[in-house]
């Protein structure tokens, strides 16, 4: 057994993640409903039943598809929220997930039963090299695993069960929320802050052990509609305006060598084309704009608008519209005014012998929106790695440390 983990939660976490990961709960950005997919209810209803079974109170699925529950306090203190999301990312196949556990990882390459060409190598992923002796969970090679964020769900459920079965453990009132659609930026309904009723909260949706995130991207989405002029190609001379050509010109005119995910890291933002669909008469381009600062985000939006205007000027018969929609903002703007929940998490890490680290994450969490809406919500580690693809993996022992962190946190939150 690795010395950096206690064994008391390992089997439960393994069982829970294996059960949850096998459920297809992928979200869909093109769906207008909440949740965006009916299949997310397979997870939501399961968690509703499990919470009732372990004795949680006030268990409900809201009309916007979030499971809420209460763990009654055994001592005074602020009401603390714990959140994880049930949906998995739309970027890669999530149908037919076959999770498997590699007991006592030997430190070598990991191969996949359903994809002989796929290799997870510690030489390529140094964090894996640190996990020799751990129990590693992966998928079978043709799907993502869905540890993002079913690992967070498993951690919270395990901690909740432990607290309810051990009422002598002193902790303040706790509120649990399992949200849909985080992966498509719609996990936090306008009603959630009031319904959660927490003084502050934590999402368990982070990566390496020790990670405490209070700085995220700010994010906007852009949608460009290009309408050309359609006519039979046999009679097209001086009449046809091909929307595909104009859409391609927009993509090519946007910054290519800089300001894209492939060439940026750290605090650098980007403009990322995620979709381009349609035909010669009309095309739709979707972009995501990311920056850690409001000013940088606004500049990227202005770049996209000016490119659209420039391309439109080359063909006045076309109609090009650009709509930019706010998504979420850097939680640092609010958390730096009161670092109490961050400091509490750091103290809990240190009590467990874990060195806390805070790095800006090049993404967002439900905590980004919750913090902006008045509930300070930093993000805590689960151990998840290589998310959104077939090489996704997680250590059971890392998840166990996150569970211990959860329990240490609630103890430190007690007042008096």
- List the domains of the chain with CATH numbers: 7-216+330-412 (3.40.630.10), 218-328 (3.30.70.360)
Which residues on adjacent β-strands are paired with residue 25?
none
Residue 2, pLDDT score: 40
Q: How far is CA 35 from the centre of its chain?
A: 15
- The answer for residues whose C-beta is within 8 angstroms of residue 409's C-beta and 6 or more apart is 80, 202, 344, 345, 348
Q: Give one DSSP letter per residue of 265-297, joined into a string.
A: -TT--EEEEEEEEE-SSEEEEEEEEEESSHHHH
Check: CB of residue 399 under 8 Å from CB of residue 382.
Answer: yes
Phi and psi at residue 395, to the nearest 5°? -90, 130
Measured CA to CA, the distance from residue 202 to residue 367 in angstroms comes to 7
Residues 6+ apart with CB under 8 A from 347: 412
Alpha-carbon dihedral sign for residues 183, 184, 189, 190: positive
pLDDT tens, position by position, 87-117: 999 999 999 999 999 999 999 999 999 999 9
| pTM passes above 0.85 | yes
Q: Which residues of 106-118 are buried (b: 16+ CB within 10 A; e: fewer)?
A: eeeebebeeeeeb
pLDDT above 90 (res 119): yes
182 part of the active site: yes
Complete DSSP assignment for 15-57: HHHHHHHTS--B--TT--SSSSSTTHHHHHHHHHHHHHHHT-E
In the set 181, 182, 315, 392, the catalytic residue is 182
User: Is 190 exposed, middle or buried (CB count within 10 Å of its CB: 0-12, 13-18, 19+)?
Assistant: exposed
What does the alpha-carbon distance between residue 303 and residue 382 come to, in Å, rounded to a whole number? Answer: 37
Task: Please tell me the predicted confidence (pLDDT) of residue 416.
Answer: 57
CA pair distance 132, 108, nearest whole angstrom:
9
Mean pLDDT for the stretch of residues 31-42: 96
pLDDT at 359: 87
87 is catalytic: yes
CA dihedral over 181, 184, 190, 193, signed as positive or negative: positive
For 216, the 3-state DSSP assignment is strand
How do residues 42-68 score in pLDDT, each as one tens digit?
999 999 999 999 999 999 999 999 999
> For residue 214, how far is the Cα from the chain centroid?
14
- Predicted pLDDT of residue 1: 37
* Per-residue model confidence as pLDDT tens digits over 151-202: 999 999 999 999 999 999 999 999 999 999 999 989 999 999 999 999 999 9
What phi, psi does 8 have (nearest 5°)?
-70, -20
**Alpha helices in 84-146, H assignment, sequence order:** 126-129
């Amino acid at each position: 057994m690795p010395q950096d983990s206690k064994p008391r939660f390992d089997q439960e976490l393994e069982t829970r993640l294996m059960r949850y990961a096998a459920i297809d709960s992928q979200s869909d950005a093109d769906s207008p409903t909440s949740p965006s997919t009916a299949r997310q209810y397979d997870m939501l209803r399961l968690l509703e039943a499990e919470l009732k079974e372990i004795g949680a109170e006030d268990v409900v699925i809201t009309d916007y598809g979030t499971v809420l529950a209460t763990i009654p306090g055994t001592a005074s203190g602020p009401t603390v929220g714990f959140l994880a999301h049930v949906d998995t990312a739309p970027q890669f196949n999530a149908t037919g997930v076959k999770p498997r556990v590699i007991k006592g990882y030997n430190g070598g390459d990991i191969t996949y039963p359903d994809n002989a060409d796929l290799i997870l190598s510690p030489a390529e992923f140094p964090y894996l090299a640190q996990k020799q002796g751990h129990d590693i969970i992966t998928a079978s090679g043709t799907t993502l695993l869905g540890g993002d964020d079913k690992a967070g769900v498993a951690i919270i459920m395990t901690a909740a069960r432990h607290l309810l079965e051990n009422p002598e453990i002193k902790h303040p009132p706790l509120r649990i929320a399992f949200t849909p659609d985080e992966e498509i930026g719609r996990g936090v309904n306008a009603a959630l802050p009031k319904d959660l009723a927490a003084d502050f909260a934590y999402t368990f949706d982070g990566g390496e052990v020790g990670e405490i995130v209070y700085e995220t991207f700010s994010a906007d989405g852009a949608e460009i509609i290009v309408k050309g002029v359609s006519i039979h190609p046999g009679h097209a001379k001086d009449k046809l305006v091909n929307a595909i050509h104009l859409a391609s010109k927009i993509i090519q005119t946007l910054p290519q060598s800089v300001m894209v995910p492939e060439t940026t890291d750290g605090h650098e933002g980007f403009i990322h084309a995620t979709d381009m669909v349609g035909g010669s008469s009309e095309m739709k381009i979707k972009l995501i704009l990311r920056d850690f600062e409001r000013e940088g985000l606004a500049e990227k939006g202005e770049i996209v608008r000016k490119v659209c205007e420039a391309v439109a000027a080359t063909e006045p018969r076309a109609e090009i519209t650009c709509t930019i929609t706010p998504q979420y903002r850097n939680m640092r703007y609010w958390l730096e005014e009161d670092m109490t929940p961050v400091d509490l998490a750091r103290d809990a890490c240190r009590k467990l012998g874990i060195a806390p680290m805070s790095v800006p994450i090049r993404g967002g969490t439900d905590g980004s929106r919750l913090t902006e809406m008045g509930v300070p919500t930093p993000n805590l580690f689960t151990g998840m790695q290589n998310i959104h693809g077939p090489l996704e993996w997680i250590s059971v022992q890392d998840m166990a440390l996150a569970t211990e962190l959860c329990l240490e946190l609630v103890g430190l939150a007690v007042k008096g």
